[in-house]
């Protein structure tokens, strides 16, 4: 008799089967239960996050944030001084980011020096230029990261960026002042009015919850408005709630970990807050980008019939998928039907969304298709030229020839015989190519260029 399998061995086998199903098998099942949808969404979110190397983008945004930190606070406090509320804004920053109190205090001292210098002489113009450049650069990097998550190639125009970003920079301090004023007003009214003392505990609880609500709104609006595409509010709100809770947990971890700061003080002295600030910023950007990826996954999970590494798809398979996409686009146009979006093509014709998006981008760059805005602000794909003259052969040849054909300047000179042979085989549909063995072909080593005298 064979020995009975041990408990840990059975547990390992069970976990391995579960992992294989969660990683690959879930995309092959035809079930559409809430659990399967949740598992697909989590799978797509995690896979997309690492496929897009968003950890590196979070590090880049951390660096951009350090450059923009003082100018951004300078703008906030400059507006606050205009209303005489700079102290209120500082208290608001402490309440929003309690784990970074020391970093904010240091930054505020820099801001005071920045504002004092920016009102003197030529530094006025230079200070404003530096302030706008750093802020617009940071916001542009954030938009680029979100567009990268959504696979959006087209960015906002420079004029749109300038107007939208300046509006954001001006609205943030005003909203901070208004939210603080609402909190103070409600707290004062309900604590001093003797007629409604029973509501005071509830109001205090709501006021404690208010920062979390503001975080939820901030994250939700970021996921909704920053990507240069149409995002469903429901999915942005769900992702915003998850990101707000994750950010609050991060704040609690940093607050409870302040007792370990003394170890950093022995190494970094007065700059002990800096490594902690960098770590906090890195994790904060990871939360934001993860939330953006979750929003993308929630909205597009039904367009993914399965997950696969599209970078391993062969050229032959890519050409076949491209031909299917081309046929779908042209036949719908011929019948007078509304153009489909990439998501709709992938979902209705059971094609990988990543391949469809990559192919339509390539066809658009070749001029074979155009992106058109539909009634619901979605982006459809329509033919880019007269379909009456677009044959399947010309379509496939155009795909094969797309790209830079003169990448190596001396290639056609050094390997002219082989280039002519390949061109001849292609023109005759590779007739006779099977009879030629690679080992029987000869090439000569290019002579190195003669040194200049």
Nearest to 57 by CA among 133, 132, 140: 140
Helix, strand, coil tally for the chain in percent (to 5): 75, 0, 25
> Rounded to an integer, what distance in angstroms lies between the CA atom of residue 121 and that of residue 256?
46
Instruction: State the DSSP string of 338-386.
Output: PPPPHHHHHHHTT--HHHHHHHHHHHHHHTSEEEEE-TTS-EEEEESS-
Output the pLDDT for position 290: 94
Token readout for 398 is 């155009």
List the chain residues with pLDDT less than 70.
1-8, 25, 28-31, 79-86, 89, 92, 95-100, 114-128, 166-208, 257-273, 303-312, 376-377, 429, 446-453
Output the pLDDT for position 35: 80
Output the pLDDT for position 123: 46
Nearest to 319 by CA among 236, 423, 395: 395
> Rounded to an integer, what distance in angstroms lies between the CA atom of residue 288 and that of residue 246?
10
Token readout for 63 is 């660096």
Long-range contacts of 101-106 (CB under 8 A, 24+ apart): 102/273, 103/273, 103/274, 103/276, 103/277, 106/273
Q: Give the count of beta carbons closer than 10 Å to the beta carbon of residue 19.
A: 11
pLDDT per position as a tens digit, 5-60:
666 677 777 777 787 777 776 776 666 778 888 888 888 888 888 888 899 999 99
Nearest to 135 by CA among 86, 200, 70, 194: 70
> Rounded to an integer, what distance in angstroms lies between the CA atom of residue 228 and that of residue 144?
9
* 8 Å CB contact between 225 and 216: no
Q: Is 293 buried (19+), middle (13-18) or exposed (0-12) by CB count in 10 A? A: buried
* 8 Å CB contact between 173 and 75: yes
Output the pLDDT for position 236: 92
> Rounded to an integer, what distance in angstroms lies between the CA atom of residue 294 and that of residue 247?
15
pTM: 0.70
pLDDT per position as a tens digit, 61-75:
998 888 887 777 777
């Amino acid at each position: 008799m064979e020995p009975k399998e041990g408990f840990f061995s059975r547990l390992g086998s069970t976990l391995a089967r579960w992992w294989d199903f969660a990683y690959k098998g879930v995309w092959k099942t035809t079930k559409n239960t809430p659990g399967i949808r949740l598992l697909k969404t989590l799978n797509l979110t995690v896979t997309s996050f690492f496929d897009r190397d968003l950890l590196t983008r979070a590090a880049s945004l951390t660096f951009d944030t350090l450059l923009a930190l003082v100018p951004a606070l300078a703008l906030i406090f400059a507006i606050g001084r205009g209303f005489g509320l700079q102290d209120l804004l500082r208290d608001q920053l402490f309440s929003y980011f309690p784990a970074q109190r020391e970093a904010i205090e240091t930054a505020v001292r820099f801001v005071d020096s920045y504002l004092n210098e920016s009102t003197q002489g030529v530094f006025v113009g230079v200070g404003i230029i530096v302030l706008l450049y750093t802020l617009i650069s940071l916001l542009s990097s954030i938009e680029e990261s979100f567009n990268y998550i959504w696979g959006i190639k087209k960015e906002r125009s420079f004029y749109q960026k300038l107007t939208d970003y300046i509006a954001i920079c001006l609205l943030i301090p005003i909203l901070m002042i208004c939210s603080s004023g609402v909190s103070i007003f409600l707290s004062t009214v309900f604590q001093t009015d003797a007629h409604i003392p029973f509501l005071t505990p509830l109001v205090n609880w709501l006021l404690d919850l208010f920062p979390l609500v503001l975080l939820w709104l901030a994250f939700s609006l970021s996921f909704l408005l920053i990507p240069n595409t149409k995002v469903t509010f429901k999915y942005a709100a769900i992702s915003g709630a998850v990101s707000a809770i994750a950010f609050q947990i991060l704040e609690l971890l940093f607050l409870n970990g302040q007792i370990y700061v003394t170890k950093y003080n022995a190494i970094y002295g007065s700059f002990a807050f800096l490594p902690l600030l960098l770590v906090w910023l890195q994790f904060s950007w990871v939360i934001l980008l993860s939330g953006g990826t979750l929003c993308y996954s929630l909205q597009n999970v039904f367009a993914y019939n399965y997950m696969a590494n599209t970078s391993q798809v062969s050229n032959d398979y890519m050409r076949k998928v491209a031909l299917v996409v081309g046929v779908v686009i042209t036949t719908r146009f011929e019948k007078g039907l509304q153009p489909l979006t990439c998501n709709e093509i992938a979902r209705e014709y059971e094609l990988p969304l990543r391949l469809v998006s990559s192919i339509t981008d390539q066809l658009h760059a070749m001029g074979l298709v155009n992106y058109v805005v539909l009634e619901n602000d979605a982006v459809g794909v329509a033919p880019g030229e007269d379909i009456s003259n677009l044959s399947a052969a010309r379509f496939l040849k155009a795909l094969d020839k797309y790209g830079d054909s003169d990448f190596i300047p001396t290639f056609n000179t050094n390997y002219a015989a082989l280039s002519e042979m390949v061109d001849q085989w292609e023109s005759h549909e590779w007739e006779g190519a099977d009879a030629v063995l690679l080992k029987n072909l000869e090439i000569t080593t290019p002579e190195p260029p003669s040194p200049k005298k």
